[in-house]
Amino acid sequence: MTERADRQLEQRSHVSYIDKSREYYQAQGFEQAYRWAAFDQVPFTRPSKLMSESNVAVVTTSFLRHHDSYFGAPATDKVVYFHPVADVPDRMFTEDLSWDKQATHTEDTESFLPLSSLQALSDDGVIGSLNGRFFGVPTEYSQRRTGLDADQVAEWCEQDGVDVALLVPL
pLDDT on residue 88? 85
- Least trusted range by pLDDT, from 67-71, 104-108, 123-127: 67-71
- Give the model confidence (pLDDT) of 53-81 as tens digits: 999 999 998 877 655 544 455 555 678 88
Residue 153 contacts residue 165 (beta carbons within 8 Å): yes
pLDDT on residue 146? 79
Mean pLDDT of 114-134: 97
Residue 136 contacts residue 60 (beta carbons within 8 Å): yes
CA angle centred on 149, ends 144 and 152, rounded to 5°: 130
CA distance 135 to 147: 15
pLDDT on residue 66? 55
Mean pLDDT of 82-111: 80
pLDDT on residue 12? 57
The residue ranges of every structural domain in the chain are 51-168
Sign of CA dihedral 146, 151, 152, 157: positive
CA distance 47 to 169: 21
Burial 102-126 (b: 16+ CB within 10 A, else e): eeeebeebeebbbbeebeebbeeee
Sign of CA dihedral 25, 92, 117, 99: negative
**Eight-class DSSP state of 46:** -
